[in-house]
């Protein structure tokens, strides 16, 4: 490839890793749907105020003191059942320095988020105290327990870490044990999750300058906090995408460079070599949201929270479908299993991102708060994700989402 060609590819990849591009291209797709150019959907914006009311009421019920709404984060799932598992981890890490505690928290967060894809409708996790959890909460508790038990560490002297050697030797049987999988308790995408851990191990090993000779994700703390005691949320996302875009089994490549959760769409628009591609980076953004607190707890301020977008997944997107904001032209599509690369799914995800941005100011107005008090990271938690789960439970027994996405367990 020529030097000019290489520069063009590098510029296009940077653009696809910029959260501003996610917004830009999702809005372009929403504009096309609005003008009637989509064979898949229409948008009923008249239904948005009722959705905002639902989200506002739920947010106030869950968090009466609106100034204390936490971020949408994996750390909320670690609190499942009202158990303060962070305090448990903090007690185990007592005596360690601030940076070392931050590394352990980031290790836990990263591996838990990457293992947090759809679990399926019947899977359960039973904790030692007898409490049973499902879906994202169950996956979070399972991975927390595996972490404190040293299942992701190759060092017997330090169970509270994740390293490349342990991940590389993790097999499906071990992961099945972590998640209590058997014939009566199946987990969607077990093999995909195992493969993802192996890919993560290679990515960590390939970057010793960032992740050290042992390949520890937590050393991202050192890399991002070395120059300043503050960092932009978008910097966290870009660092994750630079380091881990190669790990996605169902991810895309652009001119030979892995770009991950990026898909083609006729109306994605854009300029240059990346035109016509819409990035989502759902799990990477979920990870970015989940890393806000580990950085802040370590004294590193995170700025520009609303640079990150709403998460295009089945709870936020399901809320907008179930509430009649996103309207399928062919309602029978909801009964058909689809894959992440299906044009219908790509468009639904893009509309989810764009419409969450339209929903956010309506929610703030109803609650009487500003964007600084209620950034998108808190609206999602307050919020849209919980409302998506609630409306699904109202509409369907067991609360499954309105769309069935067949994936390898690493996109949704």
Residue 410: per-residue pLDDT: 59
User: Does the pLDDT value for residue 1 go beyond 70?
Assistant: no
Model confidence pLDDT, tens digit, residues 6-64: 788 889 999 999 999 999 999 999 999 999 999 999 999 999 999 999 999 999 999 99
| Distance between start and end Cα atoms, the chain | 35
Burial of 350 (0-12, 13-18, 19+ CB in 10 A): buried
Structural domain boundaries, residue 207: 3-395
User: Does the pLDDT value for residue 118 go beyond 90?
Assistant: no
Question: Tokens for 195?
Answer: 């493969």
Alpha-carbon span 144 to 19, nearest angstrom: 29
Residues 50, 57 contacting (CB under 8 angstroms): no
Closest listed residue to residue 302, CA positions, set 320, 288, 316? 288
C-beta contacts of 119-128 below 8 A and 24+ residues apart: 119/187, 119/188, 120/186, 120/187, 120/188, 121/398, 121/400, 122/185, 122/186, 123/179, 123/181, 123/185, 123/186, 123/187, 123/188, 124/180, 124/185, 125/179, 125/180, 126/180, 127/81
User: Does the pLDDT value for residue 3 go beyond 50?
Assistant: no
Q: Peptide bond preceding 383: is omega within 30 degrees of 0, i.e. cis?
A: yes
Please tell me the total count of domains within the chain: 1
Alpha-carbon span 128 to 200, nearest angstrom: 29
Residue 404 included in any domain? no
Residue 270 included in any domain? yes
Question: Tokens for 271?
Answer: 């300029």
Residue 5: per-residue pLDDT: 65
What is the helix (H) or strand (E) element at residue 349, kind and residue range?
helix 343-367
Residues 267, 28 contacting (CB under 8 angstroms): yes
Residue 410 included in any domain? no
User: Does the pLDDT value for residue 206 go beyond 80?
Assistant: yes
Residue 338 included in any domain? yes
User: Does the pLDDT value for residue 411 go beyond 70?
Assistant: no
Mean pLDDT for 258-285 is 90
* Residue 384 DSSP symbol: I
Residue 356: per-residue pLDDT: 98
User: Does the pLDDT value for residue 324 go beyond 90?
Assistant: yes
Mean pLDDT for 296-324 is 96
Range with the poorest average pLDDT among 52-56, 192-196, 366-370, 403-407:
403-407
Mean pLDDT for 221-245 is 93
Residue 15 included in any domain? yes
Residue 242 included in any domain? yes
Residues 21, 267 contacting (CB under 8 angstroms): no
Residue 348: per-residue pLDDT: 98
- Mean residue pLDDT of the chain comes to 93
Residue 4: per-residue pLDDT: 41
Residue 362 included in any domain? yes
Model confidence pLDDT, tens digit, residues 138-168: 999 999 999 999 999 999 999 999 999 999 9
Residue 263 included in any domain? yes
The owner of tokens 């630079």 is 242
């Amino acid at each position: 490839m020529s030097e000019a060609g290489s520069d063009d590819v590098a510029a296009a990849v940077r653009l696809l890793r910029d959260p501003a591009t996610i917004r830009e291209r999702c809005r372009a797709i929403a504009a096309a749907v609005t003008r009637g150019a989509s064979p898949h959907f229409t948008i009923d914006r008249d239904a948005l105020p009722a959705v905002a009311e639902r989200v506002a009421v739920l947010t106030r019920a869950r968090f009466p003191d609106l100034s204390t709404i936490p971020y949408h984060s994996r750390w909320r799932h670690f609190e499942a059942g009202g158990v303060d598992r962070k305090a448990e981890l903090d007690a185990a890490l007592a005596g360690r320095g601030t940076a070392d505690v931050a590394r352990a928290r980031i290790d836990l967060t990263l591996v838990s988020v990457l293992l947090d894809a759809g679990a399926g409708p019947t899977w359960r996790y039973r904790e030692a105290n007898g409490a049973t959890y499902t879906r994202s909460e169950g996956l979070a508790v399972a991975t927390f327990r595996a972490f404190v038990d040293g299942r992701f560490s190759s060092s017997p002297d330090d169970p509270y870490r994740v390293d490349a050697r342990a991940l590389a030797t993790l097999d499906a049987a071990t992961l099945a044990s972590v998640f209590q999988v058997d014939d009566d308790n199946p987990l969607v995408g077990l093999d995909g999750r195992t493969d993802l851990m192996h890919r993560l191990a290679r990515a960590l090993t390939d970057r010793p300058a960032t992740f050290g000779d042992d390949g520890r994700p937590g050393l991202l703390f050192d890399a991002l906090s070395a120059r300043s005691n503050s960092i932009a949320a978008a910097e966290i996302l870009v660092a994750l995408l630079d380091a881990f875009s190669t790990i996605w089994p169902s991810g895309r490549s652009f001119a030979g460079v892995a770009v991950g959760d990026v898909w083609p769409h006729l109306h994605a628009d854009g300029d240059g070599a990346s035109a016509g591609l819409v990035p989502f980076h759902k799990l990477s953004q979920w990870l970015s949201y989940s890393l806000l607190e580990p950085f802040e707890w370590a004294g590193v301020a995170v700025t520009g929270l609303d640079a990150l977008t709403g998460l295009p997944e089945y709870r936020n997107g399901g809320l907008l479908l179930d509430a009649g904001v996103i309207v399928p032209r062919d309602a029978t599509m909801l009964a058909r299993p689809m894959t992440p690369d299906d044009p219908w799914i790509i468009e639904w995800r893009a509309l989810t991102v764009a419409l969450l941005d339209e929903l956010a100011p309506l929610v703030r107005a109803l609650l009487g708060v500003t964007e600084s008090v209620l950034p998108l990271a808190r609206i999602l938690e307050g919020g849209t994700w919980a409302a998506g789960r609630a409306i699904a439970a109202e509409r369907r027994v067991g609360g499954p989402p309105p769309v069935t996405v067949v994936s390898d367990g690493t996109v949704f």
